[in-house]
């Protein structure tokens, strides 16, 4: 019987609700810094989230809303500079403690560590952002708890391509059926599902209407003993919050299902 060996976490929207009040705010601060009159409202940002990757998102915004383009010169370099400024603002926001972990995330990660369950991250965001979030919201030194932090441009194609999950599996030296993924978005589930990985979804305000075909369980969050989760789709039995016992049970069910 193939047993569960590792939990693989997405970051944005899964570990923490980082998009509306984190990334979006940082993008707008970088735009203002650059003298641009661009200001992404929560609604416009929700549309732009259809494109994963901050640099790719800026390029998409230019083509969609500002076809007149930007300062002459190499567009890729100009976007990279703007994105680096955004990352500086975003990591500062995180370091100031503005973005907390979502319900149940800390509890599940601590339980996994206590029981010797391996941990990894597979995310589209920039590595600096992952370290800043973990250091500020989980615990100082907590990036070391994750054997693999697969992030951003380390792979040629971002989610919904499965590349980042293939990279994480290769580094873990594990098979997909030995792992369980936690995701928040349709793009993330597309990617993990293509990689053959059983996946639990915790939706958020930007992703709750998206298509999560292939997910093993869809929840509003991972819950706490005093804050029960809501099951949107799938089977959680008598459980009212997501713990390692439920992870193992769900994993066995998922890998038994063709
Ligand atoms: C979400 C993303 C990222 C962030 C912005 O990543 O698509 O691009 O929105 O971060 P995930 P960057 O859900 O896979 O964690 O600007 O660093 O890309
Ligand atoms: Mg996400």
Asked, for residue 61, whether it belongs to a domain, the answer is yes
Q: Which domain holds residue 26?
A: 19-95
Q: Are residues 104 and 228 located together in one domain of the fold?
A: yes
- What pLDDT is stored for residue 70 in this prediction? 72
Catalytic residues: 10, 12
Please tell me the pTM assigned to this model.
Answer: 0.97
Asked if 204 and 160 sit in the same domain, the reply is yes
Clarify whether residues 106 and 126 are in a common domain. yes
Overall number of domains in the chain: 2
Q: Are residues 29 and 59 in the same domain?
A: yes
pLDDT reported for residue 1: 77
Closest ligand to Cα 46: 1
1, part of any domain: no
Q: Which residues line ligand 1 (CB under 6 A)?
A: 10-13, 19, 23, 52-54, 123-126, 129, 159, 185, 188
**Phi/psi at 200 (5° precision):** -105, 135
CA angle, 154 as apex, 80 and 190 as ends, to 5°?
Answer: 100
Q: How far is CA 42 from CA 46, 160, 168, 205, in A?
A: 6, 22, 31, 11
Q: Does residue 244 belong to any structural domain of this protein?
A: yes
Residue ending a domain, choose from 56, 76, 95 = 95
pLDDT digits (tens, 9 = 90+) for 139-182: 999 999 999 999 999 999 999 999 999 999 999 999 999 999 99
Last residue of a domain, one of 49, 80, 95: 95
**Cα separation, 128 vs 64, whole angstroms:** 28
| Chosen domain end from 36, 69, 95 | 95
Distance 191 CA to ligand 1 centre (A): 14
58 part of a folded domain: yes
The alpha carbon of 183 and the centre of ligand 2 are apart by a number of angstroms equal to 6
Q: Above pLDDT 90, what percent of the chain?
A: 93
Instruction: Check pLDDT > 80 for residue 220.
Output: yes
Residues 205 and 165 in one domain: yes
């Amino acid at each position: 019987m193939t047993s569960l060996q590792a939990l693989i976490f997405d970051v944005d929207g899964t570990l923490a609700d980082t998009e509306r009040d984190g990334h979006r705010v940082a993008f707008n601060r970088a735009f203002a810094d650059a003298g641009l009159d661009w200001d992404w409202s929560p609604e416009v940002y929700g549309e732009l989230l259809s494109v994963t990757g901050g640099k790719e998102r800026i390029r998409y915004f230019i083509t969609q809303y500002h076809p007149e383009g930007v300062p002459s010169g190499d567009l890729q370099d100009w976007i990279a500079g703007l994105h680096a400024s955004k990352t500086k603002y975003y990591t500062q926001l995180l370091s100031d403690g503005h973005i907390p972990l979502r319900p149940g995330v800390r509890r599940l990660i601590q339980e996994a560590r206590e029981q010797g369950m391996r941990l990894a991250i597979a995310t589209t965001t920039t590595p600096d952002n992952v370290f800043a979030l973990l250091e500020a919201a989980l615990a100082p030194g907590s990036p070391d708890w994750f054997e693999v932090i697969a992030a951003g441009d380390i792979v040629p194609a971002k989610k919904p391509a499965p590349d980042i999950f293939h990279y994480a599996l290769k580094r873990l030296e594990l098979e997909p059926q030995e792992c369980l993924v936690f995701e928040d978005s349709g793009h993330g589930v597309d990617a993990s599902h293509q990689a053959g990985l059983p996946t639990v979804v915790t939706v958020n305000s930007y992703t709750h209407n998206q298509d999560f075909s292939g997910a093993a369980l869809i929840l509003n969050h991972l819950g706490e003993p005093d804050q029960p989760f809501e099951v949107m789709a799938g089977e959680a039995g008598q459980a009212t919050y997501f713990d390692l016992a439920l992870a193992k049970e769900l994993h066995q069910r998922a890998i038994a299902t063709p």
